[in-house]
Amino acid sequence: MIDKNAAIYIAGHHGMVGSAIWRALKSKGYHNLIGASSKELDLKEQEDVREFLRKIKPDVIIDAAAKVGGIMANNDFPYQFLMENMQIQNNLIGEAHKLGVNKFIFLGSSCIYPKLALQPLKEEYLMTGSLETTNEWYALAKISGVKLCQAIRKQYKKDFVSLMPTNLYGIHDNFDLNSSHVLPAMIRKFHEGKENNNASVILWGTGKPMREFLFVDDMAEAVVFALENELPGHLYNVGSGEDITIKELAAIIQKIVGHTGQIIWDDNKPDGTPRKLLDVSKMHKIGWKHQVNLEQGIQKTYNWFLENIENFKEKIY
């Protein structure tokens, strides 16, 4: 067990995932949580990271920091997505090792797995095929982080572990239609449609692809589980182990939001990968399982959306 007074540094603590981890740890009595904003610490600068870590002397580091974006951003800025993510994780992992930190939790993404891998995606499928071209730069960076943690674990016997989440959503999500993912984008579109006399809502694709979703607080609980236990392996998928079609997702969100207008599917827009489901049996076997079902999670997310509409940078209506 990790002492409740252990110094735990959460990189990326202002983001959706990092803030959920912070809340989860606080609720369980961890007192010495440390964070730094991007203005206070540029994780891409090795000397700054080295000086910061030597100053705070963390017992544990949780890496929830990354440069993230949608398909368009990945396509337009491949160099930044590869280089900046490698800089961030290499600085944190390398300096943690030099400083003698024995517990490191690295968070990645399910995009590390091959585009055409069998479903559901098992951890052993890593590096067995070509990546999805729309986000290969981000995926390559995350793969290098996984392998770096594995190398330290193998060579130096340190408890460095990687957790690969499925599609996350929840409190502090991104509702900007230019860069948000499918679930928060639908919440906003249906809300705007409802407020506009239940106007029709246009959604991309056919609605046939299947996707898996995990409420971000469940992801945070998986991180706490990894913190409080020494996991036997180096890589674990974190998800619900359940998927639904995009059309089914739209129906659930429409009902929760209270939109009663028509849904128009624009099948001129791409569907993306037909299915992407994680095999989470390894996490289930060692004792972790998600607790928040999809309807509960969407309701919690929509409630937060309503409470924070005034804080969004762009105008909602």
Q: Which residues are annotated binding-site positions for NADP(+)?
A: 12-18, 107-110, 142, 165-168, 181
Peptide bond into 120 cis (omega under 30): yes
What are the C-alpha distances in Å from 224 to residues 4, 27, 237? 12, 11, 15
138 included as an active-site residue: yes
Q: Which residues fall in the annotated binding site for substrate? A: 189, 204, 211, 271
Q: 304: which 2 tokens?
A: 């937060």
Query: Which residue is catalytic, options 138, 169, 236, 302?
Result: 138
State the Cα–Cα distance between residues 169 and 299, nearest whole angstrom: 11
Instruction: Say how many residues make up the chain.
Output: 317
Using DSSP, state whether 276 is helix, strand or coil: strand
Q: Which stretches of 125-280 are DSSP H helices?
A: 136-156, 182-195, 216-228, 246-257
Residues 6+ apart with CB under 8 A from 185: 175, 177
Rounded-to-integer distance, Cα 102 and Cα 8, Å: 12
Catalytic residues: 138
